[in-house]
Amino acid sequence: MADLKGPDKSNRFEFIKQGVSRVIALGLGMLGGFTAFASRRSNTVWQIDPSKCVQCEHCSTDCVVSPSAVKCVQSYPVCGYCQLCFGYFQPNAPELTAAAENQLCPTDAIERIFVDDPYWEYNIEEDKCIGCAKCVQACEMFGNASFYLQVRHDVCVNCNNCSIAMQCPSDAWERVPADDPYILKHIPRQTAGLRIAPPQFHV
């Protein structure tokens, strides 16, 4: 009987030892994975790829920030500086003036400035913009597509699971490097970070 007790205790001790080792290894693996995820998240931010955006209006309704962290931006090299801007005016606007009944934007977030006949400059007042994309949709359909949406990182709280990204029907939301956080139209990614000057996009 004495011979049987020794090996039995040894086997149990070895079994427990192996179990503890596996638990520790699993814990270290999970910790490493969490650390890697946290590091990746801290180095990236959410952004909208304008080539995929379909102006679904989720950006204005589903953001946890109010008003939305998504803003319309203006690509000045693309803009036609049109007197009749489809992103600015209501369809069949009675007059081409800044009166509220003529404007497409529901919050009066687009500033219209006379440049030289027949040219006008259109600037986005981001504190008024709610990211509804009405101007973006009209500009893409009938104009030069110089208006588009971007996440503003002085407003965005960089949620782990972005509520807008989860609702986006075109998968236009993606994680991008925090040191190059904007996807600007017609501008290479490697130079995008150099072209941004808050609070207005001058590209």
Q: What are 100-153's pLDDT values in tens digits?
A: 999 999 999 999 999 999 999 999 999 999 999 999 999 999 999 999 999 999
Per-residue model confidence (pLDDT) at position 185? 84
Q: Are 107 and 95 in contact (CB under 8 A)?
A: no
Q: Are 71 and 135 found together in one domain?
A: yes
DSSP conformational letter for 90: P
List of the chain residues with pLDDT < 70: 1-13, 15-17, 19-41, 186-203
Asked whether residue 106 is domain-assigned, the answer is no
* 92 within domain boundaries: no
- Residue 129 sits in the same domain as residue 180: yes
**Do 33 and 17 have their domain in common?**
yes
3-state DSSP of 123-149? EECCCCCCCCCHHHHHHHHHCCCCEEE
Is pTM beyond 0.85? Reply is no
SS3 122: strand
Domain count, the chain: 2
Among all chains, which residue has been given the structure tokens 């207005």? 200
Q: Which domain holds residue 150?
A: 46-81+125-192
